[in-house]
Chain A
Amino acid sequence: MKRLRSVAALEKLRKSLEKERTTGTEVRVCCGTGCRAAGADEVRQAFVDEIEQVGLDATVTTSGCQGLCQRGPLVAVESQGLFHLGVDPSDVGPIVDLTLQRGRPIDRLLHHTTEGEAIPWRDDLPFYQKQERVILRNCGRIEPTDIQDAIRAGAYAGLSKVLRGMVPEAVIEEIKASGLRGRGGAGFPTGRKWEGCRAQPDGPKYVICNGDEGDPGAFMDRSVLEGDPHSVIEGMIIAAYAIGDVSEGFIYVRAEYPLAVENLTIAIAQAEEIGLLGKKILGSGLNFRISIKKGAGAFVCGESTALMYSIEGSRGMPRQTPPRSVERGLWARPTVLNNVKTFALVPVILSHGADWFSKIGTEGSKGTQVFALTGKIRNTGLVEVPMGITINELVYEIGGGTMDDIPCKAVQIGGPSGGCIPKDLFDTPIDFDSLQDVGAMMGSGGLVVMDETDCMVSIARYFLAFTQQESCGKCTPCRVGTYRMLEIMDRIVEGQGEPEDLERLQELGEWIQETALCALGKSAPNPILTTIRHFRDEYEAHVIEKRCPAGVCYSPGRYRIVEAECLLCGLCQDVCEDDAVRESRAQYRIDPELCIGCGKCKAICPAEAIVIEAEELEEAEAEVTV
């Protein structure tokens, strides 16, 4: 590819790319991590082979995450926008034959409403209708490893505008005017952060992108890095220009994300090749290059000061602030660190204008946020919604409600640092401040749905066990405090809790919130404190009545179908995803080798014929029958 020496050259390239856009049919196979795991690579290859064999004028492209992971592999037929779900290599023949050649979608691969009506067009799916894709504007729509496809879709248009005649101060003013707040969790105003760093007298300064997405059940940043790496690169270039004295940037990517590293590496190399990174970017005076740093597996490195120590090659332990990173960051130089999604938003804010951006969202929280919807939800996937949407809309309208229609109990927002919000507060709008009011936090965008078969005490213990294990050990409140809290929680879930334990947990939790060194330590007690606040009755059942209302705690035990109660309806067999419910001679039984104890069968059984038995009891019974 030719090196671009001016903004005009970039825009000329864009125009010519737009013109040569293929008019033929395009088969776009989602190859995000979720769809790949479901077999997208085989599907893609099958399309390539089949189209070649038939001799059709159609191209097969791959894209990053298209969002509806639950139903992958996803295949979009463009330009019609026909959307097939759960495609298997054996479906490729019919799709090529009927859809590509005759324009007829394959009914059984379409989304169907609960009334059984098929929806062939992607944009008509309820999952997509309430979404507003700003951060994910190109994610799932472009080939992530092809910079030309990205440029055609509008990448680097924000940079064009900046280099065509905005002074750095004007860029910062525009970001400030947009009301953009950092998408990593804390929601600090991005424009003010940049301004603070620009005001520092001495360079060199650094720009860092935080892609160390460590929250379990969260894959927003990964999807952006995999599916639209150029949006992040462009945001970082603009930041470097606005802050000044920046010639080097880093993207810190979590170790478990090999595909993100691969796509980023390609994207950076392509951007360097055409002169969007390196010396004299687009013929301007801006010099900037980006290196990738792979994490080595430490949750605490998502904390900004710890992340910088990790880039320096040390143990990733947070330090006391102030001085803030904009004053003393990487190698003790002024540094701006933003989340992946924050950088991805910067280019559109500049190309579309601050006014446009600030019209989306709420008064205090502008724009959109990306969520990874997971847990007991029908449509697991990646969604982007305007700030201010309610949890109800997100869970029921976009997410399609809970799996198997077991009533929803709560959502957990913000990962292990966040909180659990009960169903009766589901009309809470999702924005930075409202979530804080109910004890949760925006976090980076993980949203886990829990249903009536989940025990909130056990869930809270799970999160605490996670943060306890990931505590770096530098400060005592986090190292010892979370350990002590975990001991109490272990006691409670094992049936050894005392009523006084609840006060102990609250007191200890509040102490840790006030005294821990870093934000991760301070927020570690959140899951416990919010569950005590919103689900106190469940804790009391554990510590006073010594029972677990959801039937999860006190050793999971084995599921068994009581033959005398069983109606032989077969619903348990239908809901079991592990084929653990076996049918023989007019009798259902659960194979303990295959049962994972998910509880779906017990929840759906109309006759309450499924019981959980402690293992010891079963052994005792076995002895008697022998």
Chain B
Amino acid sequence: MAGVAGSEATTISAAELTERLAPILAEYAGKDGAVISLLQDVQEEFGFLEPSAMTDVADALDLPVSHLYGVASFYSQFYFEPRGKNVVKVCTGTACHIRGAPAIQARLEEQLGIGPGETTADLKFTLETVNCVGCCALAPVVSINDRVLNRREQRKLKGWIQTERAEEPTSQEGAS
């Protein structure tokens, strides 16, 4: 899991932050045990757990921010740093493991130049491992932005990475 990084310089203004957080905070106001659901929504809004958003949420819930980080850091689906435009996930479930996932992971690490849980400096790729996506018939499985690739697409992965890398920022998304 990525470490807790509070040093990320935020580019979001305080006013924008309040505005984007308001509907989320309103939805969970007064509900018991909503911390995890609330953080999930915050992450969906900002792409990761934005440090200043965490502070605001803690204030709104009247909880120490350390409590929120304590909860969030326990779960692998919370991210403390911005993630890449393309999240490439290698399934490391049992079926994938015995059908060659370690080799695929090693190859992707080499091609992307990052380890699992890391994001490239240009914010184009994040490489992650997932315990099982449940498409064991297609093992070994790779997904891009939660879409599982079929065999044909998987073979073209290297070319796709090169194309994506060469593209100018803010172009269209997804693999074909």
Contacts and interface: CB of A to CB of B under 8 A. Distances in A.
Interface of A: 33-34, 36-39, 69-72, 214-219, 222, 255-258, 293-299, 310-317, 331, 372, 374-376, 380-381, 412, 415, 446, 448, 450, 454, 459, 462-463, 466, 472, 556, 577-579, 593-598
Of residues A372, A375, A466, which shows the largest number of chain B Cβ atoms within 10 Å of its Cβ?
A375
Contact of B137 (A293, A316, A380): A380
B98 A448 contact: yes
B71 interface: yes
B136 A310 contact: no
Interface string B100-121: 1111100100000000000000
Contacts, number: 154
A448 B102 CA distance: 17
B134 to A, nearest CB: 3
B14 interface: no
B87 to A, nearest CB: 13
Contacts of B100: 596-598
Given A255-B77, A311-B33, A376-B99, A294 B40 contact: yes
A296 B75 contact: yes
A295 B107 CA distance: 30
B95 A34 contact: no
Interface of B: 32-37, 39-40, 70-71, 74-78, 92-104, 107, 130-141, 146, 148, 150-151, 154-155, 158
Contacts of A450: 98
Contacts of B151: 577-578
Of residues B32, B93, B130, B132, which shows the largest number of chain A Cβ atoms within 10 Å of its Cβ?
B132
A256 B135 contact: no
B136 A258 contact: no
30 contacts: A34-B137, A36-B148, A37-B135, A37-B138, A38-B138, A72-B137, A216-B94, A216-B96, A216-B131, A216-B132, A256-B133, A293-B36, A294-B37, A294-B40, A295-B77, A297-B76, A297-B77, A298-B74, A313-B36, A314-B71, A316-B75, A317-B74, A374-B94, A374-B139, A375-B98, A376-B98, A448-B95, A556-B103, A578-B154, A596-B101
A217 B99 contact: no
B133 A372 contact: no
Contacts of B92: 216
Nearest to B138: A37
Nearest to A558: B103
Contacts of A33: 133-135, 148
A467 to B, nearest CB: 11
Of residues B70, B78, B100, which shows the largest number of chain A Cβ atoms within 10 Å of its Cβ?
B100
B132 A218 contact: yes
A217 B36 contact: no
Given A69-B136, A376-B99, A312 B33 contact: yes
Nearest to B38: A313
Nearest to B34: A313
A312 B131 CA distance: 24
Given A33-B134, A381-B137, A217 B75 contact: no
A458 to B, nearest CB: 9
A374 B95 contact: yes
Contacts of B130: 256
A257 B130 CA distance: 12
A217 B132 CA distance: 6
B37 A293 contact: yes
Given A33-B135, A256-B133, A459-B97, 7 more contacts: A69-B135, A216-B97, A216-B132, A256-B134, A462-B94, A597-B100, A597-B103
Given A331-B32, A596-B103, A217 B77 contact: no
A380 B98 CA distance: 14
Given A293-B37, A596-B103, A596-B104, A214 B131 contact: yes
Given A217-B136, A311-B33, A597-B103, A375 B94 contact: yes
Contacts of B70: 315
Contacts of A598: 99-100
A278 to B, nearest CB: 18
Given A256-B132, A593-B158, A37 B150 contact: yes
Contacts of A34: 134-138
Contacts of B135: 33-34, 37, 69
A135 B127 CA distance: 37
B171 to A, nearest CB: 24
A215 B155 CA distance: 27
B94 A217 contact: yes
A193 to B, nearest CB: 23
A459 B98 contact: yes
Contacts of A472: 74
A471 to B, nearest CB: 12
Contacts of B94: 216-217, 374-375, 412, 415, 446, 448, 462-463
Nearest 10 interchain pairs by C-beta: A596-B100, A219-B134, A216-B93, A296-B75, A313-B35, A297-B77, A217-B94, A297-B76, A37-B148, A374-B136
Given A374-B136, A448-B98, A594 B155 contact: yes
